[in-house]
Amino acid sequence: MKDFNGKVAVVTGGGTGMGRELVRQLAAEGASVATCDVFPENMAETRRICEADGLLQGVRITTHVADVADEAQMVRFAEEVARDHQTDKIHLLFNNAGIGGGASFVNAPREEWDRVFNICWNGVYLSCRAFMPMLLRAEEGAVVNTSSANGFWAALMPNVTHTAYSAAKFAVKGFTEALITDFRNNAPHLKAHIVMPGGVGTPIGLNSRRVLLGDVPLTGREMSEMRKRFAAMGVPGAAEMNEQQLLDAQKEMIKRFETLAPTTAAGAAKIILDGVKADRWRILVGEDVTRLDQRVRRNPEAAYDVDFAAYAPFGEDELGDA
């Protein structure tokens, strides 16, 4: 797919971050876009930004509220897309929605673990199920699934567990790679692309807690886990922080990451769209994840050693030939 002009695109998780930037850039290239999020106010803000950018001239942007982990809601979303865009087909499906959490399979509550896994994996699966009939009717189409650096390296940093998210992102990667052959054999007008971002400046941390717990106070377990995590990150005084101090530290860390992340959300969206147009099925987003991918493939047996994790994924070591 060499350009997006005149195409109809669907983007999940379009209320913030990479999803919002995908909506903006697709519309700027002449695509009509339908996007969903679980938070209506995020959808309203995405639409407001697109309107302020003058992107509603000549294309249609529709916003929808849907939980990607709920099959009935995704089926309804697909029906709304057909109705609002007056079409029986779409050309592009960006499965971008995701949250973090459910860090430990041993210690995290099962409800939290399952919720993270269901959004990050089932959200991709259910979205593909809901929109496959519309993709099959298009003259050409692409499914673009967002995995992660944690889709090939199931770690985050030393002494920090990351199981639900990593397991889901590995599933997304495997599913998408399997679709390449499936589409070639059974729907040759469709392409599958796997997106693996590294550090991208998005508010996923704040969004994740809102999805998992709403605006309720921190639980004792949450505070204990946050203190441990902040201490492992070298945050001064982490062991003695009260609830407000923990929340303030979390917000500051998320804000700092958004500012200092190796790749901006806008930059990530451009890399993704350029990768689709270049027909690259494997789209690495950021120099940090490119280096990490090379290191893991070069010596997979060492990938979970503490020394390896200590400076991944943002290390500047010499890679040699990978």
- Give the range of the structural domain holding residue 166, as residue numbers without chain letter: 8-204+263-310
Read off the CATH number of the domain in which 84 is found. 3.40.50.720
Handedness of CA 232, 237, 243, 249 (dihedral sign): negative
Q: How far is CA 65 from CA 43, 87, 112, 170, 294, in A?
A: 8, 20, 21, 27, 39
Cα separation, 106 vs 137, whole angstroms: 45
Residue 106 belongs to a domain: yes
* Percent of the chain that is helix, strand, coil (3-state, to 5): 55, 15, 35
Number of domains in the chain: 1
Residue 256: the pLDDT is 73
Quote the crossing angle between the two packed helices 123-136 and 71-84, to the nearest 10°.
30
Residue 318 belongs to a domain: no
Residue 159: the pLDDT is 67
201 in Cβ contact with 259 (< 8 Å): yes
Residue 63 belongs to a domain: yes
Cα separation, 34 vs 78, whole angstroms: 9
Residue 155: the pLDDT is 86
Q: Long-range contacts for 236-244 (Cβ within 8 Å, ≥24 apart)?
A: 243/217, 243/218
Per residue of the chain (322 residues), give pLDDT as tens. 899 999 999 999 999 999 999 999 999 999 999 999 999 999 999 999 999 999 988 899 999 999 999 999 999 999 999 999 999 999 999 999 998 888 889 988 899 899 999 999 999 999 999 999 999 999 999 999 999 999 999 987 766 788 999 999 999 999 999 999 999 999 999 999 999 998 887 766 666 656 566 666 777 877 887 888 788 778 889 888 998 888 888 777 777 767 777 899 999 999 999 999 999 999 999 999 999 999 999 999 999 888 886 555 444 333 333 2
153 in Cβ contact with 312 (< 8 Å): yes
Residue 20 belongs to a domain: yes
The residue among 60, 98, 51, 49 whose CA lies nearest residue 82 is 60
Q: What is the pTM of this model?
A: 0.86
> Is the peptide bond between 313 and the residue preceding it cis, with omega within 30 degrees of 0?
yes
Residue 153 belongs to a domain: yes
Cα separation, 314 vs 288, whole angstroms: 5
> How many residues appear in the chain?
322
Residue 50: the pLDDT is 95
Residue 13 belongs to a domain: yes
Residue 319: the pLDDT is 31
Residue 241 belongs to a domain: no
Residue 256 belongs to a domain: no
